[in-house]
Structure 1
Amino acid sequence: MKPDTLVTVIVTTYNRPDALELVLDACLAQTDRHFEIVIADDGSGAPTGELIERTARRSPIPIMHAWQPDEGFRAAASRNGAIALARGEYLIFLDGDCVPQRNFIACHRALAESRMLVTGSRILLRQRLTAHALERRLALAEQPASFWLRQRAAGQVNKVLPLFLRLPDFAGRRVDGFVWRGIKTCNLGAWRSDIAAANGFDETFVGWGHEDADLVVRLHNAGVGRKNGFLATEVLHLWHPEAARDREGPNYAKVLARLADGTTRADKGLEDRSVLT
């Protein structure tokens, strides 16, 4: 990707302003500065809106807020609402509890390639470390190696190697065929044109589960390749209780059916919002 190509970072959130604050602070500390932020807000209350407004006032990076009413878990619709505001040619999806390292956007930019998407991975923080970070507003991406080695020894983080080692783009990053493992829109980059051609996220997916895999399946069916962003684009995922997963089974079955039948477009997506693509 060219250095001057505008990137839009789409950050999903729901009623967790303390975590979102850490994420936004880390976004504003990025080494790559040619980006904007759109918050995909699935119906949060006033504290989240107030945080976004305060951060936007002090930010040199444009920050926009795409809010939708709280009608249950509607991540697909929330992300489409954010895409509708995005101006970037390349979209990076990041969850509001996933703190990026300082070169997160730079690494995504380095891996971006025409007709390819990039799926990143996570470093999982345990409950005690997460509480400590939130209480002290700890700049996690700024902590020294000694801090992370102590946390690893204490069992408060599942791995530390990605904090110290970066690998460049190479042939081994390419994923052959469709592989379910590693698909997470808490850390995913793709070209807006490819997402638009697939009609975005499918808003018929409601409840927790697999609206991200559905997008990747449809892009795969349309001939969009995939790279693995391991040892380059890892994010620090704050602990949280698991969401209710009562819709996981039906959502999973729908993705499998689309993989088999070659579906490329969402049943209800961007075009239903009259988004200019």
Structure 2
Amino acid sequence: MNSKPEISIIISTYNSEAWLEKVLWSYEAQRFKDFEIVIADDGSKQPTFDLIERMQKEVHYPIIHVWHEDNGFQKSQILNKAIVKCNADYILMSDGDCLAREDYVQVHIDNKEKGYFLSGGYFMLPMSISEAITKEDILSQDCFKLSWLKSQGLKSSFKNNKLTASGIKEKLLNKLTPTNASWNGHNASGWKSDILAVNGFDERMQYGGQDRELGERLFNLGIKSKQIRYSAICLHLDHPRGYKNQESINKNLAIRATTKDEKLSWTNYGIKKEA
């Protein structure tokens, strides 16, 4: 592998080793191999360090562990630190609870284009199936098959098309979906130079919409987006959200409103701090 990979993949995590291990195995199964994983760790304890150290010996790709002290939900801060550590010119961002199908990275590579970022979605699993998935289910790709998921109790739904759509149907669904092609923290990619040009994430923002706000500044910079929610598939493992609070969401909505009203493409509270 080259010293500089084709793509850097940022995975955010916080004290959830069981889910993170499953996610790291899903990247071992990728068809596209020339990538590094940069773990944006928002203050996890020793078990996460132990897991990463073990996985570094068991997978084919390099893992860079970026960590800071636990100071509540500071995902924007740790993501900015991870962005700086990325060695590739192109960055894919996902979460430590999102299993990537074997073609996931390839789809991002195939669709990347100067002047654009890519917007993918996720397929939400219930807790029972999230827990049932094993390393073997991931490496065999059984857990991405609708038949296997239904055997584990998955209900029928239009959303199941995300897992089965291919060819013309996949392209059509990408085009017709009413969902905006926004920057989604669980499944989005763009050029590192563009992300640095808007100064990364706004570190005043805690839980709720900091990924969307980054995308809104990219739009204000003149970057467009492409919808790949039916092409780049990841399974979202279930978990409680203890950090979710309305005060944080309201504060973030106010920051996003300013970004929109003033057409801001730069934040003074990002990677580079005002002196």
**Range class of TM-score, shorter chain:** 0.7 to 0.9
Given that residues 43 and 69 in structure 2 are in contact (C-alpha distance below 8 angstroms), is that contact kept between their aligned partners in structure 1?
yes
Is 1:155 matched up with 2:189? no
Secondary structure of the structure 1 residue equivalent to 2:235: strand
* TM-score, structure 2 as length reference: 0.88
Number of residue pairs matched?
264
Given that residues 11 and 94 in structure 1 are in contact (C-alpha distance below 8 angstroms), is that contact kept between their aligned partners in structure 2?
yes
Residue matched to 1:193: 193
Residue matched to 1:46: 46
Give the Cα separation in 2 of the matches to 1:137 and 1:57.
16
User: Which segments of 5 or more consecutive residues in structure 2 lack a partner in the other structure?
Assistant: none
% identical aligned pairs: 29
Given that residues 37 and 61 in structure 1 are in contact (C-alpha distance below 8 angstroms), is that contact kept between their aligned partners in structure 2?
yes
After the TM superposition, which segments of 4 or more aligned residues of structure 1 sit over 6 Å from their partners?
168-172
1:144-223 matched pairs, under 5 angstroms: 144-151=145-152, 154-155=154-155, 159-167=159-167, 183-206=183-206, 208-223=207-222
Paired letter, 2:194 = D
* TM-score, structure 1 as length reference: 0.87
Residue matched to 2:251: 250
CA RMSD of aligned residues (A): 2.6
Residue matched to 2:228: 229
Compute the displacement of 1:149 (Å): 3.5
Given that residues 42 and 70 in structure 2 are in contact (C-alpha distance below 8 angstroms), is that contact kept between their aligned partners in structure 1?
yes
1:3-152 matched pairs, under 5 angstroms: 6-133=6-133, 136-137=134-135, 139-140=137-138, 142-143=141-142, 144-151=145-152
Give the Cα separation in 2 of the matches to 1:156 and 1:237.
17
Secondary structure of the structure 1 residue equivalent to 2:268: coil
Compute the displacement of 1:162 (Å): 2.2
Given that residues 268 and 274 in structure 2 are in contact (C-alpha distance below 8 angstroms), is that contact kept between their aligned partners in structure 1?
no
Given that residues 123 and 157 in structure 1 are in contact (C-alpha distance below 8 angstroms), is that contact kept between their aligned partners in structure 2?
no
Given that residues 12 and 94 in structure 1 are in contact (C-alpha distance below 8 angstroms), is that contact kept between their aligned partners in structure 2?
yes
For 1:191-217, what per-residue CA distance to the aligned partner results, in whole angstroms no more than 9, with x for missing partners? 0010010011111212x1111011001
Compute the displacement of 1:223 (Å): 0.3
CA, structure 1 residues 255+21, in 2 after alignment: closer, same or farther (shift >3 Å)? same
Secondary structure of the structure 2 residue equivalent to 1:11: strand
User: Which segments of 5 or more consecutive residues in structure 1 lack a partner in the other structure?
Assistant: none
